[in-house]
Amino acid sequence: MMKKRITLALLVSFLFNIALKADEGMWLPMLLGQQVYDDMVKKGLKLSAAQLYDINKPSIKDAIVIFGGGCTGEIVSNEGLVFTNHHCGYEAIAKASSVEHNYLRDGFWSKSKAEEIPSENLSVQFLVRIEDYTDKVNALTKDLSEADYLKKLPDILTDLGKKATEGTTYEGRVASFFKGNQFLLFVYERYKDVRLVGAPSESVGKFGGDTDNWEWPRHTGDFSVFRVYMSKDGKAADYAKDNVPLKPKYFLPVSIKGVKDGDFSMIYGYPGGTNRYETSFGVKLKVEVENPSLVNLRDVRLKLMKEQMVKDAGVKLQLASSYARIANYWKFFDGESKQLIKYDVYGQKQQAEGDFLNWAKGKPEYENIFQDYRKAYETWTPYSKWRVYLNEGILGSPLIKFASDMGALDKVLCNKDAKPEELAKAIESAKKAHDIFAKDENVASDKNILSAVINMFFNDIPQDQMPKGFYNWLKNKYGDLNNVHTFEAYSADVFATTIMLDATKWNNFIAKPDTATLHKDLAFFTANAFQSYYAANFAKAFTDFQTQTAWLGKTYLKGVIAMNGTKKMYPDANFTMRVSYGAVKPYHPRDGLDLASVCTMKGVLEKYKPGDYEFDLPKNFVDIARKKDFGPYIDKTHNDLVVSFITTNDITGGNSGSPVLNGKGELIGLAFDGNYEALSHKIAFDKDLNRTICVDVRYVLFVIDKVGGASNIIKELNISQ
C-alpha cells in the first residue's frame, strides 16, 4: 500500500518557513512562498511576485523557454529573438554548416530575416501553467506493489499528461518531486520553427576549449542567437517559408549598466537534475566505481576522435557535436569525484544519516531503512562496473550502438505472430535511424574506439563476469587476447564486412530483412553478445536495485521532511522551471588564491595563441579588441570590456543559456558553466565555493555589433544603461 502523501500545503510550508543562510536552492517560481520572496527583496529584487510568475498576465516566466532538448533560452525582443549558449546552439550551427560555409569556424550573422537559417528538428517550449497532480497520481498508484509502482509509474504519468492536454495543441508532462512524494503537471506550448540568426565563430564561442571547461577565470563568448516563428494566424507551427516572427507575451529588457560585487542576481531556467538527497551508499558507489569507469572510457573515446578531427576540417565538423557532448561530462565526472572526496561528502552523508536514525528510533517505518539500503547496494555493486562498461564502452562505439538498436527490428523478425503493420513500422524506424547514423558516422575514429573498448572490457571486468562465449570466439579467430593487434584485426573485420556501412548491402537487407543476415553481421553479433549476456545475468539485479532504492528513497524523503519540520528544503532539479537567486561575488578556493568576480578582454588577449586549437581568435576580433573599440559596452570601472562574471546562484546542467537578471528583471548575462571547485554540486551544494559562470551581456552585444556587424540584431533589443 502507498504511504500517506505529502500535501501541497505542507510543501508550501517548507518554502515559507525557512531562514536562508546561503544561496542554495532551485525554487519553483509558482511556490516561492512569502519568506523566500521577502529574502529576495532584501537582497535586491525590485519586482513583485506576480511579475516573476503569473498564469493570467505576462510575467518573466513567459520569456523563458526550453531550448532544444536540454538547455534554456530567453526571449529578448518583441519579434521572437532568442539568446542561448553557443554550446546549446552548437548542433544547429554544425548542421547549418558545410566545408564551404563553415559557420562553426567562421561564425554566422544574418543581416535580415531573409538570411536566417531554418534549424531542422529544433524547437522551443513555453511553460503555460503548473497544476498539483498529487491526488490523481496517488489514486492511481495506491494499491500497487513496490515493483509494480516503479514499473507502471512512468506510463501513469505520461497518460495523465496526455489526458490533461487532449483536444489542445499543448503538451502535458507530470513530474515527480521529493522522490515521489509530490507530483505536478507542467503544460507547455511547443514552437517548431526556430531559425539561426547569429553565432560567433567557434574560437569565440568555445574559447579555451576543454582546457578552460568548468574553470574560472573564464573568457568564453558562450552565446548564440535564434528566432522563433509562428504561423500567420499566430499559432505554433512547423516550419513554413511564410511563417512570421513570434509575438511573445513577454520579452526581457537588456541592461548594459554592468555588474559589481554584491549585486543581486536571479537566474531562471530548466536545471536538468540533482540528487541532493543521495545516501552515503550512493556517493561511495559513484566515487569508487561509476565515475572512474566512465571517465576512463570517455577519455579513450575522446582521444581517438580528436586524432581524426585534427587531421581534417570536414571530420572536425562531422564529429564536433558528439565530441563536445562527450567531453563536457568527461571533465565533469572527473571533477565531481575529486570534489566529493576532497570535501568528504561521504562522511557528511553518514553524519546526516546518523541524525536521521536517532530521530527514527521507535518509528518502524524508518528505523531499518539504512539496513535495507546497505543490502541493496551490497547486492548490486559487484555488477555496477559491467553496466558502465556496456553503456559507455561497448555502446560508446556509434556502430555498435546502432547495431544494438537494430535489436528492435530483430525482435519483430523473430516473432512469428508479428502483424504486417508491426514489421513495416520496425523497418521504417530502422531506415530513419540508419540515415542519421550514416550521416554522423566517422569510420576511422569508430574503428579505433571499438578496438579499444573491447580490449578495455577484457582487461578491466572481473573474469567471472566475462562473456566468455564472445571472447573465446575472438581468441580462436584472431589470436592472443593479451595482444592489442588481436582487437585491431577484429575491429577492422567488423567495419569491413558489416551491412550497416555498405549502402548496397544495407539497401538489399532493409528491402527484405531477415534475422539470419542480421545475426551473421559482425557488428550485430558484437552488440548482441554483450547485451544478451547483460540481460541474462545482470538486468534483473539492476531492476531489483532500482526498485528497492526508489522505494527506499521515497520513504527516506518522507521521513526527512517529517524530521525537518519547517527547516529549509527544496525539491531536486528535474528539468522543470526553477528560479535561483544570489549575488555577484568573488571567491577564495584555496590558500593564497583569491579569484575576482569578473574577467575582461585583457585576459582574452593574454590567452590568445594564433593557430592554437583552443585559444585562437579571428583576426578582425583581435584587431578590434586591441584598439579597444568597445563602444557603449565598455566597463568604465575597469576601462575594459567585461567578458564574464560569477555569481553565487545555484544551477546545474539544463541551466545552460539561462538568463541572469538584475533586481529589475533586466538581462545582464547568460549562465553557461559552474566552477571546478564545486563540481560536487549535483549531490552537495557548497555555500562557500559554489559559483555560476556567466557571459556578460555587454560582451554578447559587442561581438554581435562590433565583430559581427549585425546592428540589425542590436536594434531589436530594449537596451537600458
Distance CA 446, CA 438 (A): 12
Burial group, residue 390, by CB count within 10 angstroms (0-12, 13-18, 19+)? buried
Q: Are strands 254-255 and 719-720 parallel, antiparallel or unpaired?
A: parallel
Grid cell locating 197: 540568426
Q: Are strands 81-84 and 71-75 parallel, antiparallel or unpaired?
A: antiparallel
Assess whether 86 carries a catalytic annotation: no
Distance CA 141, CA 121 (A): 35
Are 182 and 11 within 8 A, CB to CB?
yes
Assess whether 38 carries a catalytic annotation: no
CA 627 to chain centre: 38
From residue 7, alpha-carbon distances to 14, 37, 283 in Å are 11, 21, 30
Distance CA 239, CA 209 (A): 33
Closest of 190, 191, 200, 199 to residue 117, by C-alpha: 199
Burial group, residue 529, by CB count within 10 angstroms (0-12, 13-18, 19+)? middle
Q: Which residues pair with 590 in a beta bridge?
A: 593
Distance CA 648, CA 44 (A): 14
Q: Which residue has the cell 559487484?
A: 382
Catalytic residue among 491, 656, 658, 680: 656
Strands of 13-94, DSSP E: 64-67, 71-75, 81-84
Closest of 320, 324, 294, 304 to residue 210, by C-alpha: 324
Closest of 297, 293, 59, 87 to residue 207, by C-alpha: 87
Catalytic residue among 86, 87, 219, 681: 87
Catalytic residue among 23, 222, 673, 696: 222
DSSP string, 459-493: HHS-GGGS-HHHHHHHHHHH--TTSHHHHHHHHHH
Cα-Cα-Cα-Cα torsion 270, 116, 209, 309, nearest 10 degrees, comes to: 120
Assess whether 231 carries a catalytic annotation: no
Grid cell locating 393: 564502452
The HSE-up count of residue 411 (CA atoms within 13 Å, CB side) is 12
Active-site residue set:
87, 222, 656
